[in-house]
């Protein structure tokens, strides 16, 4: 088909794509980090350590990483829409089932399966947008998807915290599952079918070749490691900040801590700002500025003043989502061929970073102190910044268009 027929801003097709891709991000992230604000409750309920309860979050992200590895090979064998619908509906049903799972180990196992299933959305969403949306409108569409991720993460955490405090954590899980099922059904009804992609038999040799090219391309490899490191830091902060705020000198109540997750709204601003700035400034400049801002904000989390911590958390959230939006756009746009493979590898690194650092730093916090925990996160962000500044990335970036 003629590329000029791709969905343009203002068209009915583009509006449906934006709305439904937003709903998909909303559903995925509401489910993926559902247990994050309830980790202190889970630790008390199952009588386990901080690091052990973090497996409730890490299990889903490990499953997500494994699923993305699978879909890196198989995603192009399925209809984009059918794969995403299956992922959204099946994951919602698994979340609903989780409300009745009796043991921590079984919950962790369900989490791995749920992460694997829901990875079908992340595996093809960015590829779908770059295939079906007119080039000039791609940044706006990607920003809408990532905004859905952000708002889903925020609303899921706030809703889960409040419901868990009032009705118990199992009822909170049930409510999020039902909400996600409704979003999945709406997506099934309104999301447009692909016009510029048709399922094709998997050429494993070609896929391995594409993935090898991406994994040996220094430009792409830097983006992948940046995604892993920054996501690991982000999940670490949100996993364990509730433990910090429950303790002295803050001693915040469970209800008040729920609204700490309103900081996620700054993530929406981060994606919006990045979408606009990407039309005016080099992508790598925006990426580096976002990482520097993230570094400064992590340092503020060392404070024992609640207002400085809240400001730091807001800046931290905005900076992370700005950096993530930029890195994911750079990945999708740089890949001329094998876009689904390129973006799947990006998400693979992203969620492995979430799983490994997200749980590893929990054991670190349990063994040492908050200051040691934050110091390790600062070093991690510095490594990501060094990767962003390595090589002549700007020139390579221009060649990719």
Domain count, the chain: 1
Mean pLDDT of the chain: 87
**Which range of residues forms the domain containing residue 204?**
8-393
| 238 in any annotated domain | yes
| 1 in any annotated domain | no
| 401 in any annotated domain | no
Alpha helices in 9-137 (DSSP H): 12-32, 39-46, 50-53, 55-74, 80-98, 104-132
| 197 in any annotated domain | yes
Asked whether the CA dihedral 83, 97, 259, 238 is positive or negative, the reply is negative
What is the model's pLDDT at position 105?
A: 93
What is the model's pLDDT at position 74?
A: 84
| 348 in any annotated domain | yes
pTM passes above 0.85:
no
Residue 12, C-beta contacts closer than 8 angstroms, at least 6 positions apart: none
* Mean pLDDT computed over 51-70: 86
| 3 in any annotated domain | no
* Mean pLDDT computed over 60-69: 88
Confidence grade of residue 186 (pLDDT, cut at 50, 70, 90): very high
| 400 in any annotated domain | no
User: For the domain that residue 64 is a member of, what is the CATH number?
Assistant: 1.20.1250.20
* Mean pLDDT computed over 200-229: 88
Cα–Cα distance, 39 to 220 (Å, whole number): 34
What is the model's pLDDT at position 399?
A: 43
- Ranked by mean pLDDT, the top range of 3-12, 63-72, 82-91, 251-260 is 82-91
Confidence grade of residue 400 (pLDDT, cut at 50, 70, 90): very low
Beta-bridge mates of residue 7: 133
The model's pLDDT over 334-363, given as tens digits with 9 standing for 90+, comes to 887 777 778 778 888 988 898 889 888 988
Residue 103, C-beta contacts closer than 8 angstroms, at least 6 positions apart: 46
Rg of the chain taking only CA atoms, in angstroms: 20
Quick one: residue 28, left, alpha or beta (phi over 0 = left, psi -120 to 50 = alpha)?
alpha
- 8 A C-beta contact, residue 55 and residue 341: no
| 111 in any annotated domain | yes
Confidence grade of residue 106 (pLDDT, cut at 50, 70, 90): very high
Confidence grade of residue 1 (pLDDT, cut at 50, 70, 90): low
The model's pLDDT over 278-293, given as tens digits with 9 standing for 90+, comes to 878 898 999 999 999 9
The model's pLDDT over 123-161, given as tens digits with 9 standing for 90+, comes to 888 889 988 998 888 878 888 887 787 788 788 888 888
């Amino acid at each position: 088909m003629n590329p000029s027929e791709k969905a343009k801003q203002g068209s009915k097709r583009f509006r449906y794509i934006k709305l439904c891709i937003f709903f998909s991000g909303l559903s995925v992230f509401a489910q993926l980090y559902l247990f994050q604000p309830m980790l202190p409750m889970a630790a008390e309920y199952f009588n386990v350590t901080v690091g052990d309860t973090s497996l409730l979050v890490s299990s889903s992200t490990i499953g997500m990483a494994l699923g993305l590895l699978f879909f890196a090979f198989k995603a192009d064998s399925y209809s984009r829409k059918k794969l995403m619908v299956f992922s959204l509906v099946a994951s919602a049903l698994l979340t609903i089932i989780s409300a009745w799972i009796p043991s921590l180990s079984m919950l962790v196992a369900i989490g791995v399966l749920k992460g694997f299933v829901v990875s079908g959305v992340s595996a093809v969403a960015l590829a779908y947008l770059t295939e079906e949306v007119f080039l000039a409108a791609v940044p706006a569409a990607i920003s809408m998807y990532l905004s859905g991720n952000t708002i889903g993460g925020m609303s899921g955490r706030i809703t889960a915290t409040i419901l868990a405090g009032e009705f118990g954590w199992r009822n909170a899980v049930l409510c999020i599952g039902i909400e996600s099922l409704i979003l999945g059904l709406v997506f099934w009804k309104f999301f447009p079918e692909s016009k510029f992609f048709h399922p094709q038999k998997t050429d494993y040799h070609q896929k391995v070749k594409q993935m090898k090219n991406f994994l040996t391309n220094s430009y792409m490899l830097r983006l992948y490691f940046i995604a892993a490191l920054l996501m690991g830091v982000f999940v670490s902060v949100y996993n364990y900040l509730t433990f910090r705020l429950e303790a002295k000198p803050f001693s915040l109540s469970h209800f008040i801590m729920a609204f700490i997750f309103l900081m996620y709204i700054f993530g929406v601003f981060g994606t919006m700002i990045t979408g606009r700035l990407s039309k005016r400034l080099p992508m790598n400049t925006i990426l580096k500025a976002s990482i520097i801002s993230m570094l400064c904000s992590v340092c503020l989390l060392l404070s024992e003043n609640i207002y400085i911590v809240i400001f730091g958390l807001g800046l931290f959230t905005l900076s992370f989502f700005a950096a993530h939006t930029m890195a994911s756009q750079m990945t999708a746009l740089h890949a001329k061929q094998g876009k689904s493979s390129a973006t799947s590898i990006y998400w693979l690194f992203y969620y492995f970073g979430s799983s490994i650092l997200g749980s590893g730093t929990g054991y670190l916090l349990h063994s040492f102190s908050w200051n040691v925990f934050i110091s390790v996160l600062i070093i991690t962000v510095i490594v990501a910044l060094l990767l962003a500044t390595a090589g002549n990335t700007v020139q390579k970036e221009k060649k990719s268009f």
